[in-house]
Each structure stands twice: as C-alpha cells, then as structure tokens.
Structure 1
Amino acid sequence: MRKRVAHLSAVVTIAVAMLLTSCSGNAAGENQSDTAAVPGASQAPDSANDKSPAPQGDYAFGAGREDIARAIEKAFSSQNAKATWEDDLFVLSLDGDAEGAMAGYMQCQTLTHLLNEDDVTAIQFPNGTVMCVDALAE
C-alpha cells in the first residue's frame, strides 16, 4: 500500500510541476522584441534578449503561495479539491473520508514535496479534518 501511495504522490507532484511550468510562460507575442518590428532597428545580443522570468516565490518551482495553491487544486481536481491559505495554514479540502485508515496520507505526502518544511498543512474532508503532521506520523 505504501508503494502505491508513494507512486500516486510522485504522479501528483509531477502534475503540479507541469501545471506550474506551463503557466509560467508569457502570452503569445510577449517575448518578441519591440525593435524587431521596426526595420533597421538595432537589437541587443541574444543573451541580453533572453529574459526568462526569475523565480518569484518561495515554493516548489519558484511559485508563490497563490500559484502553488492553484496548481495543487488543479492536480487534485478529480477529488473536487479546493486549496486555500488560512494565515500560515494550508488547507486542502476534498472529497473523501477523514475516518479511513490512510486518511490524508497520500495528499500530505505530496504536499510535503511542494510546500515549505515549516508550513502547517491540513486535509479537510466532508466529515472532518486531518492534520498532516498526524497523518504522516502513523
């Protein structure tokens, strides 16, 4: 069972990575230089035109709090997920059962790879809330 959970955790982590990296690109045409449309305008060397956006957040893949919440929500969308920050508590609300033997384990395992070590995380099910520190301790 733990191998399956580890595999699912890896799949969700990869999905979040893909969501974050695909959203980080600019809209069509934004990377084009304004001087390229003007005949005879000089252009800086290629290295000066390479303006890749620097990571702006403190979370996985350079994401900020809202970006990582949005990506995690999309990754767990098959479970009707809603991800929110309540001050310094990250809450992932989704379908499921808080009373199950492995309640929240897979989700918490995944969140440990995406959030910061000092973030407090909880999984909220319709019938209760599981704190990740408790789910991962078992």
Structure 2
Amino acid sequence: MPERDAPFELSAKNLQVKKAVSHKKKNPLRIQTTKPKNSVKLRPTKIPDHFTWALVLTIFCFFVIGPCWALYKTFEVRRMIASKDFDGAHRLSTRISSTLLISTIIGVFAWVCFLFASAGILITGVLLKNKFI
C-alpha cells in the first residue's frame, strides 16, 4: 500500500475565501439620461402674468412696441392658465419677462437721454439769453 500524506488540520480561518486585491478604479455610476415611464413633470405653482409691469411701461416708456405686445400677451397667459396649459403659460410668461426687461433698459436709456438733452437746451438758452455765448 502506498503511503499517504499526513492529514492537515482544517479550521474556520482556512475555509474563508480570500478576495483578490484589485487596484482597478471602479467606474462611477452613469447619469440617467432618459425619463422613466411614470415620471411626473413639475410645474411652477405661480405663473406671473406681468400685467402691471407691462401697463406701467406702456404708459411711461418711449419704446412702446415691446410693452404693447407684452400687455396683449398677458391676456393670453391668463387664458392659458384658465385652460390649464401651464407649460405654455410658463414659457410665454418667460418671453414676456425678457421683452419687458429689454424694453425697460431701452426706456431708461431714452429717458436719461431726454433729460440730458432738456437740461442742455435749458442751459444753452440761459447762456444765450445772458449773452455768455
């Protein structure tokens, strides 16, 4: 009979599987680009119609085209909100806000030019009257 090797002792430490140490970097999780099928689109709770801003600019602004358009579109925003088209109303409200901001900047510039021109005309008139020029 051939000789057998001596048996070796088994313990719980020997039974555990040792994990190989990996020096690889783990790939980060990818960002989800598609919407889930049951996703809900969030809508703003309050959609401004900018009516007072458009009205004030229509009255006091030299650049009347933008504020008049915005004043007309405020009524369309109100109709869209009443018909529950919140996405369209929000987009139109954003366009109105941008138009009114540009009209405000143009209006302020026009008023400042008007005031400086008026002051220049008054000062020139006073200087001519007193024969300083």
Smaller-chain TM-score range? under 0.3
Please give the TM-score of this superposition, normalised by the length of structure 1.
0.26
Decide which structure has the larger Cα Rg and report it.
2
Please give the TM-score of this superposition, normalised by the length of structure 2.
0.26
